[in-house]
Structure 1
Amino acid sequence: MNWGRHRHGHHEHRDRYHHGNLREALLEAATQLIRENGPNGFSFAQVARHAGVSPAAPYRHFRDRTALVAEVARLGFEKFESELRGAWRDGEPDPRQAFSACGRAYLRFARTHPAVYSAMFEPSLPLDEEPGLRAASDRAFDVLLQAAERLCADIEEEQRPPARMVALHVWALSHGIASLFVVGNGARSIPGSPEEMLEAAVLIYLAGLSRAATKTS
């Protein structure tokens, strides 16, 4: 992102605020600091310095550092939902193919936006205390839930697993692979790509569901 920076000390602060860019500048600064130090590795004062504004300026838009990181996460979940939904495409041309596309989109997002991704899944963020954060997270999960519902629809109703359970299992698989091999320290080697690993894991999982349904029918 380019916020049109012109580093001239206090002039930069006045120019950004005059043009309504203070909030965006703070979000950009926070994202950069998360990338460098993690979601909990910096102070509110450091955000102000990084953005080139006064120590009091961030309070115009955010209660504290936690609220700022939560907003980075909320905006991340909104973009995440959009990318997952674009990959799912209402299950077209085939639910399994579309589901695989969701997995690739999941890993692509984690790879492309590692700082935002780490903020989104920072366990210390109070989901229910930050406006809109849980709702944004739930909307992203709903894409996987819709996909799981379509996939489970092919299993006889008596043996059909709860779609929410399936969605949670697949989310856990995706998040684990993303954390270990996409946004991790890069020291781990795997045969093939993370995308291939996730696709194989999901296929094994879905095949297991199908076998379990067949045995109980």
Structure 2
Amino acid sequence: MSDAGEERGNGRGGEEGGRARRGYHHGNLREALVEAALPLIAERGPQGFTLAEVAREAGVSGAAPYRHFKGREDLIAEMARRGFDLFADLLERAWNGGEPSPISAFEKMSRAYLHFARAEPGMYIAMFESGVTVGADPALLAASDRAMEVMRRASEALVMRLPPEKRPPVQMMSYHIWALSHGVVELFARDSAGRKASISAEDLLESGAMVYLRGLGLIPGAD
């Protein structure tokens, strides 16, 4: 049966449960299912929805999702893959080859990290909070590695500014920065966290990163 046929086979239109159903008419069932699932995972978490609900939101039959996904975990992995691809693109643009300077480009990357977490909560949850096994899916692993590679290259550009004997391992540094960014997002950058800080998440992340870089000797200390 074609994708359009699956839509017609649902046999229900209009609204269901007071919520306007998305529906789709372009024949791309996989895309429609991902788009329908993103707000559900953002609102309810990775265990808070079923494929049947995704199908209803997309305006297709309950059997339609199984044409593309083995189950909910498979759909979540696809959301995570798309998230990592978008995330890597944002980091790459923010890094911009280290221009106009590695330090300023690094600060832009920090802001891009926070922006992504706020703008794409469904993808962020799929990527980092769903328990998805990144290494089990080659496409997901490649997308995750691409995002990590941007962090690694940025860290390498900063490390190379230090004398050889003072350079930390590049991979370790990139993990430190990723962990710092993720921690600020989880604690202070998302409304669902329920925490309020006296300064913005942006300032928290920027100041934390600057303290870290200063400790490495990449930024001069205060007089």
Give how far 1:184 is off. 4.7
- Give the counterpart of 1:60 among 63, 67, 79: 67
1:171 matched residue in structure 2: 178
Q: Which runs of 4+ in 1 moved over 6 A?
A: none
Q: Using structure 2 for the length normalisation, give the TM-score.
A: 0.85
**Pairwise CA RMSD:** 2.1
Q: Is 1:112 equivalent to 2:113 in the alignment?
A: no
Q: Is 1:150 equivalent to 2:151 in the alignment?
A: no
Give how far 1:134 is off. 1.3
Q: Is 1:20 equivalent to 2:21 in the alignment?
A: no
2:4 matched residue in structure 1: none
Cα deviation digits, residues 94-151 of structure 1 (max 9, x gap) = 0000000000000001011111111111352121222411110110011111000000
What is the number of equivalent residue pairs in this alignment?
Answer: 203
Distance of 1:112 and 1:104 partners within structure 2: 12
Q: Using structure 1 for the length normalisation, give the TM-score.
A: 0.87
Distance of 1:186 and 1:161 partners within structure 2: 33
Give how far 1:200 is off. 0.4
2:110 matched residue in structure 1: 103
Give how far 1:34 is off. 0.2
Higher mean C-alpha displacement, 102-111 vs 33-42: 33-42
Distance of 2:72 and 2:57 partners within structure 1: 13
Distance of 2:72 and 2:138 partners within structure 1: 15
| Matched ranges for 1:1-217 at <5 A | 10=11, 16=24, 19-210=26-217
Distance of 1:145 and 1:59 partners within structure 2: 37
Distance 1:156 1:69, change over 3 A: same
Whichever residue aligns with residue 28 of structure 2, its letter is: N
Whichever residue aligns with residue 169 of structure 1, its letter is: H
Distance 1:11 1:184, change over 3 A: closer
Give how far 1:49 is off. 2.1
Where does the alignment leave 5 or more consecutive residues of structure 1 unmatched?
1-6, 212-217
Distance 1:123 1:33, change over 3 A: closer
Distance of 1:180 and 1:132 partners within structure 2: 29
Give how far 1:182 is off. 1.4
% identical aligned pairs: 49
Higher mean C-alpha displacement, 68-77 vs 115-124: 115-124
Give how far 1:22 is off. 1.4
Q: Is the 8 A contact 2:186 2:193 kept in 1?
A: no
Where does the alignment leave 5 or more consecutive residues of structure 2 unmatched?
1-6, 14-20, 219-223
Distance 1:123 1:61, change over 3 A: closer
Distance 1:172 1:101, change over 3 A: same
